Amino acid sequence: MFKSKRNILAASILVLMTVATLTASLWLPTSPAHIDPSERLLSPSGQHWFGTDHFGRDIFALTIVAARISLLVGIVVAFLATLLGTATGLIAGYYKKADAIVMRIIDGMLAFPALLLALALVAALGGNVKNIIIALTFAFWPVMTRIVRSAVLQVKNIQYIEAAKTTGTSDFVILTRYVLPNALSPIIVQGTFIFAKAILAEAALSFLGLGVNPATPTWGSMLQESQIYISIAPWFSIFPGLAIVITVLSLNMLGDGLRDAFDPHAVKQKRVKKVWPLWRARKTQKQWAREKEQKSVAENEYMGKEV
* Contacting positions for other proteins (CB under 8 A): 158-160, 162-170, 173, 177-178, 181-182, 295, 298-299, 301-303, 306-307
Query: Coil, helix or strand for 52?
Result: strand
Nearer to other proteins, 104 or 292 (CB): 292
What distance in Å separates the CA atoms of residue 86 and residue 92, rounded to the nearest whole number? 10
Query: Coil, helix or strand for 58?
Result: strand
Helix, strand, coil share of the chain (percent; to 5):
75, 0, 25
**Pseudo-torsion of CA 240, 241, 245, 247, nearest 10°?**
20
Smallest gap, in angstroms, from Cβ of residue 149 to other proteins? 18
Look at residues 261, 238, 144, 233 and name the one whose alpha carbon lies nearest to residue 197. Answer: 144
Look at residues 195, 233, 240 and name the one whose alpha carbon lies nearest to residue 217. Answer: 240
Exposed, middle or buried, 241 (CB in 10 Å: 0-12/13-18/19+)? middle
Smallest gap, in angstroms, from Cβ of residue 302 to other proteins? 4
Q: How many residues does the chain have?
A: 307
Look at residues 110, 259, 241 and name the one whose alpha carbon lies nearest to residue 192. Answer: 259
Nearer to other proteins, 6 or 295 (CB): 295
Q: Quick check: 148 and 89 in contact, CB under 8 A?
A: yes
* 71 strand-pairing partners: none
Phi, then psi, of 58 in degrees rounded to 5: -80, 120
What distance in Å separates the CA atoms of residue 68 and residue 136, rounded to the nearest whole number? 17
Smallest gap, in angstroms, from Cβ of residue 165 to other proteins? 6
Smallest gap, in angstroms, from Cβ of residue 299 to other proteins? 6
Where on the phi/psi map is residue 51: left (φ > 0), alpha (ψ -120 to 50), or beta? left
Smallest gap, in angstroms, from Cβ of residue 159 to other proteins? 4
Nearer to other proteins, 125 or 163 (CB): 163
Nearer to other proteins, 92 or 223 (CB): 92
Smallest gap, in angstroms, from Cβ of residue 93 to other proteins? 15
With vertex at residue 36, the alpha carbon angle to CA 226 and CA 244, rounded to the nearest 5 degrees, is 30
Nearer to other proteins, 36 or 299 (CB): 299
Smallest gap, in angstroms, from Cβ of residue 295 to other proteins? 8
Nearer to other proteins, 141 or 178 (CB): 178
Nearer to other proteins, 126 or 181 (CB): 181
Smallest gap, in angstroms, from Cβ of residue 168 to other proteins? 4
Nearer to other proteins, 90 or 243 (CB): 90
